[in-house]
Amino acid sequence: MLRLILASASPRRKELLAQAEIPYEVLPANCEETAPFGVTTAELVEELSLRKAEAVSLREKGDMVVLGADTLVAVSGHILGKPVDEEDAFRMLKLLQGNTHTVYTGVSLIRVWDGAEGERRREKRIFHEASDVRFYEMTDEEIREYIATGEPMDKAGSYGIQGMLARYIAEIRGSYTNIVGLPLGRTFKELKELCKEDLPELLGKTD
């Protein structure tokens, strides 16, 4: 049975796959996320997503597609991941408010199956999407109020566009679901191309 494995514990990515009615199971990768030197943000999110997908695909058996994803925010030459504490969240949000920033999500899909001679065969799709977001100006008090909700602490750039901070969003250019954590449209397109006639089995729609 062909299965889709999400190599991430992100609740946002789980919600997006459920929204798209794509069945999946969760097996977090728990791999190293240090940044290689001299790469662009787009290259970095692709590399980190591939590490996650590779880690799970190498330890699991059977016919599967492993989905790894990583999201980062870039603004004014800074790359922002998840904050380490509330002051780090405040620093990030000060950088973002009143400016346009770019949200990058890298996605890696690895299809693994047993070949005719019993060897493990692999095929990959690696890509990224970029979306621009502009915030309205926020006061320090408003930033502190938002941080106090706890919402920023597990999110790249210290905010979730689907949460309370939506009231400060002035403009979005690009995929909304990419900003949440997984570009659903592009991901499903790549899944179709990777699975081909096996897609109904992945979606649980076989008789």
Helix (H, G, I), strand (E, B) or coil at 113: strand
CA 71/CA 157 separation, integer angstroms = 9
DSSP string, 27-71: -------PPPTT--HHHHHHHHHHHHHHHHHHH--SSEEEEEEEE
Q: How large is the greatest C-alpha to C-alpha distance in the chain, in angstroms?
A: 64
From 201, 184, 196, 62, select the one nearest 120 (Cα to Cα): 62
CA 72/CA 156 separation, integer angstroms = 5
- Amino acid identity of 165? L
Selected catalytic residue, list 63, 70, 132, 154: 70
- Inter-helix orientation angle 86-96/140-148, to 10°: 130
Verify whether residue 88 is a known catalytic residue. no
Q: Indicate which residues carry an active-site annotation.
A: 70
